[in-house]
Structure 1
Amino acid sequence: MKYSNYLLLAISVVAVSCTVEKTDYEAEIATDTTEYFDFEEVSTINTGDYNLTIEALNGTLYKGYNEIHVTLEHAQSQEELSNAAVTFLPILTDANGKQSSCPHDYQLTYDTANGYYVGYAVFTDITSSTAGWELFMEVTLSGEIQAVSQTITVEEQVNKNLNMTAFTGNDNVQYFIALVAPQRPDVAENHLVAGVYKYIEPTQVAGDFPDPSQFIYAVVNDHTLLLDPRMPEPSMGNHSSPNNEDLTQQNDGLYHGVVNYTMTGNWTLNFIFQDAQGNTIKGTEVPTDFTPGIEGVKSELYIDILF
């Protein structure tokens, strides 16, 4: 009997060791998180008559959510122009020549208080040797349209607190969830913000490239993201935390909630995505069992973060 107990203990230790080696959590936790506040120039594009200066946080476009600022000025007089219609269409071309886009604001809005046009883009892939992004923009002023395009670079998002996920729901619609804030969480109750978007299948035959009607994405309205945060590594037993609040849509179009991180480390944001009628589009409940030594079970819909 004693031999059997020792054998069982040895097997358990080996199992835990293999699980820990599978995911190097300690190395991940050592990663430093930089928080960015300043919008800097990504690129300046000249249409002939106009200069468009594109800005993003840290002057870099990342995979995931990016707030975009565009300043428009006359090329000769350098006069800033506030009364134009400015469009923004990012296109990804893969190694096979297939073209797609990502959630984005096609028609930028002028921010009178700050003097720039504002929008967003949720880039779904990074620039690589097999895939590249090109930005197509148009400026319409006094009935005249000037179009321009330029290659852009999208970097990997090293801050896992700004991760994203893409999935097909039970309704066969393609959805995207992108974390917007916080960039650098605290051991506390954190205001959690995410963008939720969907792809609109084209209803008409494509016109001349790039035809915006083939690349339409929309903000998802009046849905809910039920939230269950867990620490998935074996030593944490997949435990959760109290005082979390599900994410619901607010006036800015984004989804807001509360996530309570009780310690630093690896966390998984488990979601159940529901429509306005409470029907589940994607996601599953996470078991409540405490599972020390075993990597935690995750929802069918989740995003991993780290701080």
Structure 2
Amino acid sequence: MKKLYAFVFLLAILTACKKDVDNENITDPKEGLKKISEAYAPGISTKIELWAKSSLTTGYNQLFVALYDSVSNQTITKAEVKVLPVMDMEMNGMHMSHSAPSVQPESDRAENTLFPLAAVFTMPGNTDQNKWSLEVTIKRDGQNKTGTARLAAEVGSSSPERVKMLTTAEGDKLVVAYFFPIHPKIGINELEMIIYRQQDKMSFLPADNYLLTITPEMPAMGHGSPNNVNPVYTKNGYYKGKVNFTMTGDWRINLDLAKAGQKNTTFFDLTF
């Protein structure tokens, strides 16, 4: 009997130790992210948190929404999430608003408790006269009602600029931005671009029919680089390619956008 008690006692200790180890191995999905703001969606008992990889700046921003039941504080992992960036401007006593391109969550199921999305901010907004917010609309699983909340989003200027707005020869108003999925290094780097066409001041659609050509160069050094891969369209306004940086310093990525025999050009400067 004493041996049985000893065995049960030892088993309890080992089980407790295993639970402690398991708890230590659980990683917070928001670890390494920066909390931007939070708000409550009235009528559906939901708290909304907005997270990002870093402070928001003009250009492409990867964002994440976390949802919680405001009564139980339990994480919500299934819901329809829609976002709309809104810029509110006060000028000479007049109020104006406009939006910017955004990429909606692809699923109504969270990825590791977070709903990934993106926004391309076209101008800074961090004053009382010019300020961004993210209008988030939620429809929780099993509920018929929707709830909407405005989450403040302070947006600084990127330097060098990571977003360009241009009007094509066909009259399309485009928002073009670039980003690197991984911090660039000497050698071949994955390069992504996102292009949206403005429908009106509050709506943008993915521009999926452009042929892109990139030509990197170092203007101060008088040379470019070989083995670049022109970005091609994938989905949701994204184009994926590769750029070769042969050394650190000041680079310029020249970009041609071609459609229906017409070509438009722009460029992005960057330093790494």
TM-score category (smaller protein): 0.7 to 0.9
Identical columns (%):
23
Alignment correspondent of 1:272: 256
Cα pair distance change 1:110/1:41, threshold 3 Å: farther
Q: How many residues of Structure 1 are paired with residues of Structure 2 in the alignment?
A: 234
| Residue matched to 2:76 | 81
- 1:183 Cα deviation from its structure 2 partner: 5.4
Deviation, 1:164, is: 1.7
Distance 1:222 1:183 in 2: 26
Q: Answer yes or no: is the 8 Å Cα contact 2:105–2:116 preserved in 1.
A: no
Q: TM-score, normalised by structure 1?
A: 0.70
Residue 59 of structure 2 contacts residue 162 of structure 2 at CA under 8 Å; is this kept in 1?
yes
Are the equivalent residues in 2 in contact too, given 1:245–1:259 (CA < 8 A)?
yes
Output aligned runs, 1:1-307, within 5 Å.
38-48=32-42, 49-58=45-54, 60-96=55-91, 97-105=95-103, 109-129=107-127, 130-141=129-140, 142-158=143-159, 160=160, 163-181=162-180, 184-201=183-200, 215-233=202-220, 236-237=221-222, 239-250=223-234, 253-275=237-259, 277=260, 279-283=261-265, 301-307=266-272
Equivalent in the alignment of 1:295: none
Verify the 8 A CA contact 1:231 1:268 in the aligned structure 2: yes
Instruction: Return closer, same or farther for 1:107/1:258 CA change in 2, 3 Å cut-off.
Output: closer
Q: 5+ unaligned residues in a row in structure 1: which ranges?
A: 1-36, 202-213, 284-300
**TM-score, L = length of structure 2:** 0.78
Q: Which amino acid aligns with 2:245?
A: Y
Shift in Å at residue 182 of structure 1? 5.0
SS at structure 2 position matched to 1:98: strand
Matched AA of 1:63: T
Q: Which amino acid aligns with 1:64?
A: G
Query: 1:57-79, CA deviations, whole angstroms, 9 ceiling, x for partnerless residues?
Result: 02x22211111111111101122
Give yes or no for contact 2:126–2:156 (8 Å, CA) kept in 1. no
Structure 1 residues 78 and 108: CA distance shift in structure 2, 3 A: farther
CA gap of 1:111–1:101, structure 2 versus 1, over 3 A, is same
Alpha-carbon distance in structure 2 between the residues aligned to 1:74 and 1:128: 30
More strand by share: 2
Q: Distance in 2 between matches of 1:39 and 1:168?
A: 35
Paired AA for residue 193 in structure 1: E
Paired with 1:43 and 1:241, the residues of 2 have a C-alpha distance of 42
Give the Å deviation of 1:102. 0.6
- Structure 2: stretches of 5+ with no match in the other structure: 1-30
